[in-house]
Structure 1
């Protein structure tokens, strides 16, 4: 089975109101890179292909009928939780919880992006797997 470079057998496909503004948010906060986009003849975004770090995913603009906005939750690893959290708030996110060290040995903060998705901004504090 052929999979394009950077794609796994499953990856997020976000359906949002405001696909372009979400892309700007993701670039400003997480350093997302736009890999390409497809636009319908009416100007609506069919999909924007995005990469953050080693992960690829797609964002699509809802059409107001069959394709409704579907907020999701995403766990993202970053180098600096506190700085990323501040950038997210500056870019329009709302806080779920401030950065804190968690009992499972991640430093973590939570935000809701402007399109309603939850982001668990995390950094592993130890170089070992999670308990099974």
Structure 2
């Protein structure tokens, strides 16, 4: 298999979200997952067209939906330092519970649906 030319600091597979409000999605990522803003690109009107955030060394990309690109939901698994704390932050940030935190064979796990309709499976080991 040949190797793709991938920019430094980026993995080969990156989740991409299309959300109704890119700025609020970035706030959600920062609040719940302590994400670091990596890049944002805006159109002439200031609307967020493309954003990138780093969650513990993993990159999340997202764009704001428009007439040509409707919002799409995703489901993502993410390792965090403390599943209970992250779950609580997500609930405070307007998420709904998919699964309350519980101890599993693979770690402490929980599931939330964010205000944009995406499901996050949160686990700490």
TM-score of the alignment, normalized to the shorter chain, above 0.5: yes
Q: Once superposed, which parts of structure 1, at least 4 consecutive aligned residues long, lie more than 3 Å away? A: none
Which residue matches 1:72? 74
Shift of the alpha carbon at 1:92? 0.9
Root-mean-square deviation (Å) = 1.2
Does the CA contact (< 8 Å) of 1:99 and 1:107 recur in 2?
yes
Within 5 Å, give how 1:1-132 maps onto structure 2.
1-63=4-66, 65-102=67-104, 104-124=105-125
Q: Return 5+ residue gaps in structure 2 as ranges.
A: none
Equivalenced residue count is: 122
Distance in 2 between residues matched to 1:83 and 1:90, nearest whole Å: 11
Q: Which moved more, 1:53-62 or 1:38-47?
A: 38-47
Query: What secondary structure sits across from 2:31 in the alignment?
Result: helix
TM (normalized to structure 2)?
A: 0.91
Does the CA contact (< 8 Å) of 1:6 and 1:55 recur in 2?
no
